[in-house]
Structure 1
Amino acid sequence: MRGASALASMVAAAAVALLLMIDGCGGAMYKVGDLDAWGIPPPSKPDVYSRWAKSIHFALGDSIWFLYPPSQDSVVQVTPVAFAACQASDPVLKLDDGNSVFNLTTPGRVYYISAAPGHCRKGQRLAVDVPMANGTYLPPTANDLAAFAPMPAEAPAGFESAALGPAGAHQSAASRAAAAAGAGSVLLAALSFAVFLL
């Protein structure tokens, strides 16, 4: 009996040691928005998700955790093009359990939006930059730059890109000029990306 108890204690100690080693090898987990749960940003904090993403230095192997009421929302990983258009119909990955974790396993920019109708267009979207293993970032692709380009003049009424603020926000003169000049050009996309990084 005593041998079985000693063996059980050794197995338990080995299991704890293994868990500690695995935990030490894994990345950090970050709750999206910190104290703010995943939802439509309040008027007092329309840029809560872009500010949150800029405040953290992510690394390969880290995870991001979205917390939200599952009956009211979801989160989808999307392409840069879908991010720019707030299009959730063909996601890379969709989670809707209210306690969604995405692992950051590939360097580059990763895009997330709410799939609940109208939420993305009200600012519920997030872009996360993941560096390479050596800590350097990949240069943005043309699609990454276009994801934050100002919306063209013929955009649906009430729709603004995240770089410009939530629906109903007043556009700056520079944003209106950029849209009028053709937001699709690479030069304007690069300018919008630089503004987003500030």
Structure 2
Amino acid sequence: MRARAALASAAVLLLLAGGCAGAMYKVGDLDAWGVPPPSKPDVYKSWAKSVHFALGDSIWFLYPPSQDSVLQVTPEAFAACDLANPVLKLADGNSVFNLTTPGRAYYTSGAPGHCRKGQKLWVDVPMANGTYLQPSASDLAALAPTPAAEAPEGFLQASAPAGAHPSAAELRAVAGAGSVVAAVALALLL
């Protein structure tokens, strides 16, 4: 009887362990991680919005290692397209990042100039119970428009990136307004 109970317990543990393994998503569902084509400048933003990530999932970047790399960066580095001090750099052409921490994770190309051309991605990872963390001030600033690579000094793009949550666009608009009215509106949204 004990052997049968132990066998049943082992089978349940195997099923649970198999169910806990996360999904792996190929970034952008594209052939390779690269500068978005002019016909699809928001390919990475759109893709990230279409996927409902969970703790334990992985994202997979495929690219020619002699031409690119992937950097996990801070919100500030993401906003500025600053490649100098990444949190993590992978350059093997077949890079997998495990989503093990709830919150927002930021990635960009390690090739000079590619980030400003739109080769960057952010993903929201919910907590184990499925709820999302509130975006921090750094997160909101990171999603502000990035100046285009060929834009004149001081020129900013007019369009903001699409958010993963219905209120994210409102939060970005309020955070970017820089006024007392915006601060009050932000407090009301939260």
Where in structure 1 are there 5+ consecutive unaligned residues?
Answer: 1-17, 166-177
* Structure 2 unaligned spans of 5+: 1-12, 162-172
% identical aligned pairs: 74
Aligned counterpart, 1:55: 50
CA contact (8 A) 2:25 2:59 kept: yes
**Cα contact 1:40–1:124 (8 A) shared by 2:** yes
**Cα shift readout 1:81-127 (whole Å, capped 9, x = no counterpart):** 00000011100000000000000000000000001010000000000
Aligned 8 A contact 2:144 2:160 in 1: no
Cα deviation 1:11-68 (Å, max 9, x = unaligned): xxxxxxx998754321000000013421000000000000000000000000000000
Aligned to 2:118: 123
1:186-197 → structure 2 map (5 Å cutoff): 187=182
Given candidates 31, 40, 44, the residue that maps to 2:26 is 31
Distance 1:138 1:94, change over 3 A: same
Aligned alpha-carbon RMSD (Å)? 3.2
TM-score normalised per structure 2: 0.72
- Find the counterpart in structure 1 of residue 178 from structure 2: 185
**What stretches of structure 1 move > 6 A for 4+ residues in a row?**
18-21
What amino acid sits opposite 1:98 in the alignment? G
Q: 1:108 to 1:35 in 2, by over 3 A?
A: same
1:75 aligns with 2:70: yes
- Count of residue pairs the alignment pairs up: 157
Task: Give the letter aligned to residue 148 of structure 1.
Answer: L
The offset of 1:145, in angstroms, is: 0.3
Change (3 A) 1:143 1:33: same
1:148 CA displacement: 1.4
